[in-house]
Every structure is written in structure tokens, then in C-alpha cells.
Amino acid sequence: MNTWDVIVIGAGAAGLFFAGHAAGRGRSVLVLDPGAKPARKVRISGGGRCNFTNLDMDAGRFVCGNPHFVKSALACFTPWDMVEFLGTHGLTYEEKALGQLFCAEGAGAVARALERFATGAGANLRLGEAAVEVQREEGAFGVTTGQGRYRANSLVVATGGPSWPGVGATWFGYDVARQFDLRVEPPRPALVPLVCGQWSYVDLAGLSLPVRVSCAETVIADDLLFTHKGLSGPAILRISMHWKKGEFLVLDLLPGLNMAALIDAARQETGKTLVRKLLARHFPSRLAERLGGQAGGLAVAELDREAMDSLVSRVHQWQVMPTRSEGWERAEVAAGGVDTRAFSSKTMEANGLPGLYFIGEVLDVTGELGGYNLHWAWASAHAAAQAV
Ligand SMILES: Cc1cc2nc3c(=O)[nH]c(=O)nc-3n(C[C@H](O)[C@H](O)[C@H](O)COP(=O)(O)OP(=O)(O)OC[C@H]3O[C@@H](n4cnc5c(N)ncnc54)[C@H](O)[C@@H]3O)c2cc1C
């Protein structure tokens, strides 16, 4: 049987980053992945630009059943450490709004750098080979694939979450966790567009605007995108982490301005401005038409109190009840996952199960939109690689 210091299940962001660091520390490392290419999710990340980190890195940007868990790994591996890593591979970055860093050379270049880092350090990468079974044997771990059986002192589960199955995402990591009696917080699609049944705004599909959206206690200011099925865009992807079926979203389509005051000001000018025209000063014309509705053809001076209140509430407090999310097919990440309470936050090793590590998205750690999920993959991989 093939024997290694470490077997890594999954050649994604976390698995490859771990493998490079662990092999660099002299460990013999085998990485298994069913894909024909490694890091398939990295290749499609950030719309092909890979938003690999965020300068505004803080534990508060992550949702985790054990909120302090991420702190140690984040403290030991910062956004600038990742910038430096990419720099050593000849890659540069561009900063977008909110400290989001994207790779200027594109997501494919990041994936290639990760592969070079792992194999260059001596890790053995076996592609087209999925782990199908894991066994604990005499203090070591056995891993069976379609092609063979391997053994190692340490096992690193880096299988990611089940979102975006088109790039090979699986549920295997959760099965391994349960096999070792590790609790799994039920995974659910997150950072995902929302579907609204009986959607009567199909004609607005493709239209985008800045909004403030709230759901229960959470309020997010970002861009909204109308789709054929409902709502998307960064504002909706971000609120999807907090939305539960049966809850309303409340949208302020004109954050920072006061529609009632705008109407009053237009009344005081001449009063003759059409409501539709007033709205078109602040909204794309298709949306202005829809918001104005029957009142759109009236002059502002003709708006009675009821029509004005109704317009103001459509603009500032538009209530939408999504029926579901677009599901795993379109979710950027899985919320939930392997319960971190059973792990060391310094090393990602399972308590009471020496040599068993879980890193990356398979854990119950979900970052906000904006580079946080990839940063968690790097930081958790880095933490485990120092310990293994
Ligand atoms: C469309 C899209 C865009 C995204 N954009 C961004 C972004 O710009 N910024 C950001 O921070 N995050 C982004 N994310 C999220 C980010 O890609 C993931 O959070 C991150 O890749 C997780 O890293 P990971 O290593 O834990 O898992 P992954 O990168 O998903 O890697 C898991 C690997 O495990 C392998 N695997 C699964 N089962 C087995 C098995 N049985 N045996 C062996 N191998 C197995 C898979 O093939 C895969 O290669 C995006 C996600 C998607 C879907």
C-alpha cells in the first residue's frame, strides 16, 4: 500500500494551499481529486477574476456556530500574506470597492499558481481520482479510491461544500465527518439568488440599482439585480445568508434620499412635472414606469395623500416575499457544515482524533460576499499546514 505523511482529499483552494505549505515543511503529501483539473471553483471565482481576499478582514465577516473559531487562523494569515504569496508567483491585484482584491491576471492564473505551489513543493497530485472510503486503522488513516488504496498518518478533508455541482462539488466531506461522529450543521445554499413565485417584474430582468435591503435584523446596502425569476446581485446574495423561507425582504430602492421630500420639492417648482418623469430622474426608465404605476401619468400636484403614501412606500419599503433560493446550482457557498466546536481553532485538528483535519468550506464557516470564503480557505489551510 502507498504510504504518506498526509493525504489531502480535495485539490481545491484549501487543499492545494495546504499541500504546498505542508510539502514545503518536508511532509510527504498526496492530494486526491476527481477533477481533470485542480481548483475548479477557483477558476470560476469572482466572475473569472478571483476575488481572493478582502482588506477588511475580521471575524465578524463570517457566520459560524462558534463565532470566535476563525480568529486564530485569520490572525496568523492576513490578506497581505495572500497578496505576497501571489506576488511570488508573478501575480498582481486590483482593489475594488470595499477592499475586495481581485487577481489582475484572472482566476485561471490563481489556480495555476496554486497547482505549481503544491507540486513544486513536492506534493503528489492525483487527478481523476475521488476518495470513496476512509478508514481509521491503527492510529493511521486509509483512503480508498477507484484506483487504489493509500495510507497516511494524517488525513486532511478539504472537499469544500456542495454548491455549484457543475464543477465537481460533493457531499463527501460531511459523510467523513459523520463517520467520525463529528456533528454537521445542516448545509444550505448561501450567497445565492432568490426566486419569487408569480414574479411580475420579468420585464425588468437585467436591471441593476443600488438599494438597501433588510431581512429581520440584517440590513445590507449594495447593488440589486432583477432577474427573470426574482432578485439577485450582491445585495441579494449577501442577504441570502440571513433569509429564511417565509420571511419578507424589505427594499429601499432609493437609499439616502427621501421620496416624499422629492415630491414636495417638485410640487413647489411648478407642480406640473409628471410623476413618471420625476421617478425617471432617480431610476432607470423601465423601473420608473413600474413604480409610478397608474399615478405615473399624473402631475405631481395631482397626487392625493393616498397615492403619494403608496408611491413613497413602494420606493422606500417595497416588501418582497421570495419563495425559495435558486439552490445548490447557483449558490456560491454552503452555509452550515462540519461543526467547528469539535476542532482546535489553531490547527483545524479534530479534538480526540489525532491526525484528522478539516479545512476550508467543508467546515461550518461561511464568509460574506467579497473574498472572505477564499480567504478562509487560505487561512485554515495555512493553520493546519503548520501543525501537521
Ligand atoms: C461561482 C462561484 C464564484 C465564487 N467566487 C468567489 C470569490 O470571488 N471569492 C471568494 O472568496 N469565494 C468565492 N467563491 C467561493 C469559493 O470558491 C469557495 O468558498 C472555495 O473554493 C472553498 O475552498 P475549498 O478548498 O474549501 O473547496 P473547493 O475549492 O470547492 O475544493 C474542494 C475540492 O474537493 C474536491 N472533492 C470533492 N469530493 C471529493 C472526493 N470524494 N475525493 C477527492 N476530492 C473531492 C472537489 O473536486 C474540489 O476540487 C465562489 C464560488 C462559486 C461557486
Q: Is the CB of 191 under 6 A from ligand 1?
A: no
Distance in Å, CA 170 to ligand 1 centroid: 10
Three cell numbers at 364? 461550518
158, 362 Cβ separation under 8 angstroms: yes
Please list the pLDDT of the chain residue by residue as tens digits (388 residues). 589 999 999 999 999 999 999 999 999 999 999 999 999 999 999 999 999 999 999 999 999 999 999 999 999 999 999 999 999 999 999 998 779 999 999 999 999 999 999 999 999 999 999 999 999 988 899 999 999 999 999 999 999 999 999 898 999 999 999 999 999 999 999 999 999 988 999 999 999 999 999 998 899 999 999 999 999 999 999 999 989 899 999 999 999 999 999 999 999 988 899 999 999 999 999 999 999 988 899 999 999 999 999 999 999 999 999 999 999 999 999 999 999 999 999 999 999 999 999 999 999 999 999 999 999 999 999 999 999 9
Distance, CA of 51 to CA of 62 (rounded, Å): 16
Which pLDDT does position 138 carry in this prediction?
86
Give domain limits for the chain.
2-190+329-387, 193-326
Distance in Å, CA 171 to ligand 1 centroid: 12
Work out which ligand 1 atom sits closest to the CA atom of 39. 49
Q: Do 193-326 and 2-190+329-387 fall under one CATH topology? A: no
Q: Is the CB of 360 under 6 A from ligand 1?
A: yes
Distance in Å, CA 5 to ligand 1 centroid: 24
In this prediction the pTM is 0.93
* Residue whose CA lies nearest to ligand 1 atom number 35: 10
Which CATH number is associated with domain 193-326?
Answer: 2.40.30.10
Fold of 2-190+329-387: FAD/NAD(P)-binding domain (3.50.50)
Q: Is the CB of 337 under 6 A from ligand 1?
A: no
Distance in Å, CA 378 to ligand 1 centroid: 12
Q: Is the CB of 12 under 6 A from ligand 1?
A: yes
Distance, first Cα to last Cα, the chain: 21
Q: Is the CB of 370 under 6 A from ligand 1?
A: no
* Residue whose CA lies nearest to ligand 1 atom number 19: 373
Q: Is the CB of 333 under 6 A from ligand 1?
A: yes
Q: Taken in order 169, 379, 63, 320, is the CA torsion positive or negative?
A: negative
Q: Is the CB of 162 under 6 A from ligand 1?
A: no
Distance in Å, CA 232 to ligand 1 centroid: 21
Q: Is the CB of 20 under 6 A from ligand 1?
A: no
Which pLDDT does position 97 carry in this prediction?
76
Which pLDDT does position 1 carry in this prediction?
57
The secondary structure of 88-156 as a DSSP string is HTT--EEE-GGGEEEETT-HHHHHHHHHHHHHHTTPEEEES--EEEEEEETTEEEEEESS-EEEEEEEE
